[in-house]
């Protein structure tokens, strides 16, 4: 499955909250800090931009996959496959 090309940072944070239990714990400047306690504590920093760059999105999803011991493709399917 291809990564979305027009995904905003806020949309990604809502999807991560719904599917993986992340919560916005801090907003500083143009970035969001998300934290989950599922599977141990894990933090992510996401740019609060209208359109995330594909490489940035891929890196964020890779971090989520590493924390939850999933392949990045599985993370993409869980977030955007429904």
User: Quick check: 23 and 34 in contact, CB under 8 A?
Assistant: yes
Phi, psi of 42 (to 5 degrees): -145, 135
| HSE-CB for 73 with a 13 A CA cutoff | 1
Predicted confidence at residue 82, as pLDDT, reads 59
Classify domain 9-80 by CATH number.
3.30.920
Question: Mind listing the pLDDT tens digit for each residue in 8-29?
Answer: 999 999 999 999 999 999 999 9
In the chain, domain spans:
9-80
Residue 1 has pLDDT above 80, yes or no: no
Residue 67 has pLDDT above 70, yes or no: yes
User: Quick check: 9 and 46 in contact, CB under 8 A?
Assistant: yes
Nearest to 63 by CA among 31, 22, 29, 30: 22
pTM (whole model) above 0.85: yes
Predicted confidence at residue 55, as pLDDT, reads 95
């Amino acid at each position: 499955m291809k990564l979305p090309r027009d995904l905003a940072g806020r949309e990604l944070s809502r999807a991560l909250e719904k599917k993986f239990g992340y919560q916005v714990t801090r907003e500083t400047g143009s970035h969001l800090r998300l934290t989950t306690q599922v599977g141990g504590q894990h933090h992510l920093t996401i740019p609060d931009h209208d359109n995330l760059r594909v490489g940035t999105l891929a890196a964020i999803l890779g971090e989520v996959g590493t924390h939850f011991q999933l392949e990045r493709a599985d993370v993409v399917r869980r977030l955007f496959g429904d």
